[in-house]
Amino acid sequence: MEINKLLSDDAILSELGERLSRYRLDLSLTQAELARQAGVSKRTVERAEAGASTQLSNLIRIMRVLELLPNLEHALPAAGPRPMELLRGKGKVRRRASGSKVAADDHALWSWAE
């Protein structure tokens, strides 16, 4: 299954869990062996493979053992300043988000339901 924005969070977690399981099996590792090498509990590996939520640090440990860490570079590439932002900011890199700009008229349209 291809992961895309139309999938629910649970569907994406489930797909990621299945992929982790396939990589583990390709390396002929049991869940217990993977857990021991990753320094996490066997239950953590079971939960990750079942598509349950897990801590990011545990996922990184599991991916390291499965030799998948280089794939994180593709999942979340380093973000640099955009050229136009550098021009507008006179070479300075943004440190804060300005937030959304709501027109004053938009506030007048909203009222408490009665």
Q: What is the pLDDT of residues 6-23, one digit of tens each?
A: 999 999 999 999 999 999
Determine the pLDDT at residue 7: 92
Q: How far is CA 11 from CA 18, 25, 43, 74, in A?
A: 11, 21, 20, 20
Q: 81: helix, coil or strand?
A: coil
| Domains within the chain, CATH numbers bracketed | 9-75 (1.10.260.40)
Tally the residues of the chain. 114
pLDDT digits (tens, 9 = 90+) for 23-72: 999 999 999 999 999 999 999 999 999 999 999 999 999 999 999 999 88
Most confident of 56-65, 73-82, 103-112: 56-65
What pTM was estimated for this model as a whole?
0.69
Looking at per-residue pLDDT, the higher value among 114 and 31 belongs to 31
